[in-house]
């Protein structure tokens, strides 16, 4: 055996190719703080249970502090031949403090240890992502307040449909990100269960106290089944899924910014600081940031698929395959964090082009539904009203006009009951302000929604 911590039963040195293939410390070193926090709690429990002495515990805690400081200062030398972060730290501890360090792994396996580290890590990341989501919500609400009076075309099938308040559109994203925060909070509840003490797979015969460790590490719950505990990566997949949905929401928002900045829409202007130019076309101002946010959804969704596929054929309990859960998650965290931060900055700097929005609203017969609803109020059955307005729209479009531009005489040709008061509902403002059903775009409803959103953030 060589220096391997598990070298006892081996007659041959590990092949270099195998060391390179199985090594994970170049990425799982990201878990060093969590690994050390877990070891501190484990050592304190071992001492309390009389499995190590108080002096040994003191040495372990001191050694772990030093190692943590070295890693933070970039002085720690990670050794790939020690495979992963867990054994790098444990070995460094033993080298530093001697036999006491060799007692740290009592009643513990890397199988429950790595599960613990990942839960501690993801618990933090849930909180951090929640903060980034809140920041993005704040910039959406600020903009919704700023553009509260501005109306824009609302779309279905990407065809002009009905006028809506810009604020209503922005608050639609507020709601999506609110649900994303709820999903993270829900996922965090299942992350927040202590796995340590499951040991390799079957628990341990040594007199450990899992509840005490849970208390030290602030876990409200201890896992129930040791086999399930070391095999469980549900919490990883739930996190990846919540993160993928966040990125998909960001991608939809980004897609709208890309559309809206095009000359064909010209609804918004992005700050120069958030755009890039072309190496050949001097006139270009490209929306690369939203494009990249949209594009990065590919990798985040891919990571979720990778994790689901990773798990699907695994028998109980721990399998080394599970080491493959780290990189997809680290990249997910990095990608979603950066995208959220950029989206918040981008939304804060967004300017709507009111004259372009107003011009767009003059075309597309967007108040046709309002005309049908007007007829309904005059006792015309809705299906008949729909057909009548359809004929009026066809007539207006034939002449290159909007249905709101027809005269009373012209409108009366389609339905005798139409009177002068029709023009109040045919205007864009009249249309928006009438839509005061719960959750609608009516000014009164949007004011309530804005006040509600502002109270939540």
Residues lying near ligand ARG in the complex (CB under 6 A) are found at 24, 28, 84, 110-111, 114, 318, 320, 322-323
What is the distance between the alpha carbons of residues 387 and 375, in angstroms, rounded to a whole number? 11
The smaller minimum CB distance to ligand ARG, of residues 28 and 68, is found at 28
Least Å distance between CB 299 and ligand ARG?
Answer: 21
Least Å distance between CB 221 and ligand ARG?
Answer: 22
The smaller minimum CB distance to ligand ARG, of residues 110 and 249, is found at 110
- Strands 221-222 and 268-269, bridge-based pairing: unpaired
The smaller minimum CB distance to ligand ARG, of residues 110 and 119, is found at 110
The smaller minimum CB distance to ligand ARG, of residues 37 and 406, is found at 37
Least Å distance between CB 1 and ligand ARG?
Answer: 16
What is the distance between the alpha carbons of residues 336 and 346, in angstroms, rounded to a whole number? 15
Task: Sort residue 107 into left (φ over 0), alpha (ψ -120 to 50) or beta.
Answer: left
What is the distance between the alpha carbons of residues 274 and 286, in angstroms, rounded to a whole number? 9
Residue from 157, 279, 407, 437 carrying the catalytic annotation? 157
Residue from 26, 53, 262, 278 carrying the catalytic annotation? 278
Least Å distance between CB 78 and ligand ARG?
Answer: 13
The smaller minimum CB distance to ligand ARG, of residues 24 and 433, is found at 24
Tracing tokens 């040709």 back to the chain, one arrives at 413
Tracing tokens 């797979």 back to the chain, one arrives at 201
b/e code 246-278 from CB counts within 10 Å (16+ = b): bbbbbbebbebbbbbbeeebebbbbeeebbeee
In sequence order, the 6+-apart residues with CB closer than 8 A to the CB of 335 are 247, 296, 299, 300
157 is catalytic: yes
Please report the sign of the dihedral spanned by the C-alpha atoms of residue 345, residue 355, residue 286, residue 249: positive
Least Å distance between CB 318 and ligand ARG?
Answer: 6
Least Å distance between CB 28 and ligand ARG?
Answer: 6
The smaller minimum CB distance to ligand ARG, of residues 304 and 317, is found at 317
Are 219 and 194 a contacting pair, CB within 8 Å?
yes
* 255: helix, strand or coil: helix
How far is C-alpha 135 from the chain's CA centre? Answer: 13
The smaller minimum CB distance to ligand ARG, of residues 114 and 257, is found at 114
26 is catalytic: no
Least Å distance between CB 83 and ligand ARG?
Answer: 6
Please report the sign of the dihedral spanned by the C-alpha atoms of residue 139, residue 145, residue 150, residue 155: positive
The H or E element spanning position 351 is strand 351-352
Phi, psi of 3 (to 5 degrees): -80, 0
Task: Sort residue 158 into left (φ over 0), alpha (ψ -120 to 50) or beta.
Answer: left
Bond before 317 cis per omega within 30 degrees: yes
Catalytic residue numbers, as ranges = 157, 278
């Amino acid at each position: 055996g060589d220096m391997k911590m598990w070298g006892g039963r081996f007659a041959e040195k590990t092949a270099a190719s195998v060391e390179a293939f199985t090594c994970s410390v170049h990425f799982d070193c990201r878990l060093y703080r969590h690994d050390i926090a877990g070891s501190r709690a484990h050592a304190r429990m071992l001492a309390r249970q009389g499995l190590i002495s108080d002096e040994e515990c003191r040495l372990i805690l001191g050694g772990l502090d030093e190692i943590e400081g070295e890693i933070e200062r970039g002085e720690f030398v990670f050794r790939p031949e020690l495979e992963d972060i867990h054994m790098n730290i444990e070995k460094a501890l033993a080298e530093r403090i001697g036999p006491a360090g060799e007692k740290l792994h009592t009643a513990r396996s890397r199988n429950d240890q790595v599960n613990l580290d990942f839960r501690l890590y993801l618990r933090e990341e849930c909180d951090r992502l929640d903060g980034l989501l809140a920041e993005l919500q704040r910039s959406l609400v600020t903009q919704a307040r700023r553009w509260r009076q501005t109306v824009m075309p609302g779309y279905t099938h990407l065809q002009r449909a009905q006028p809506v308040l810009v604020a209503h559109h922005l608050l639609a994203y507020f709601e999506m990100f609110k649900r994303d925060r709820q999903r993270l909070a829900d996922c965090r509840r299942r992350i927040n269960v202590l796995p340590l003490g499951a040991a390799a797979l079957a628990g341990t015969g040594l007199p450990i106290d899992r509840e005490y460790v849970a208390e030290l590490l602030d876990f409200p719950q201890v896992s129930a089944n040791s086999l399930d505990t070391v095999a469980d990566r549900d919490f990883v997949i739930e996190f990846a899924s919540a993160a993928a949905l966040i990125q998909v929401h960001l991608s939809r928002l980004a897609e709208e910014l890309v559309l809206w900045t095009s000359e064909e829409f010209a609804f918004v202007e992005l700050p120069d600081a958030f755009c890039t130019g072309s190496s050949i076309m001097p006139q270009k101002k490209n929306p690369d940031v939203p494009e990249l946010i949209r594009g990065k959804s590919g990798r985040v969704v891919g990571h979720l698929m990778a994790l689901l596929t990773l798990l699907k054929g695994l028998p109980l309990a721990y399998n080394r395959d599970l080491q493959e859960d780290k990189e997809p998650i680290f990249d997910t965290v990095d990608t979603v964090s950066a995208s959220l931060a950029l989206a918040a900055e981008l939304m804060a700097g967004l300017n709507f082009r009111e004259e372009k929005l107003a011009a767009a609203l003059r075309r597309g017969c967007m108040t046709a539904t309002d005309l049908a609803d007007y007829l309904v109020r005059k006792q015309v059955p809705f299906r008949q009203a729909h057909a009548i307005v359809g004929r009026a729209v066809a007539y207006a479009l034939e002449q290159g006009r909007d249905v709101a531009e027809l005269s009373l005489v012209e409108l009366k040709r389609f339905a005798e009951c139409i009177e002068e008061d029709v023009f109040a509902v045919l205007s864009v403002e009249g249309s928006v302000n009438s839509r005061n059903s719960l959750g609608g775009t009516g000014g009164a409803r949007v004011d309530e929604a804005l006040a509600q959103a502002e109270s939540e953030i």
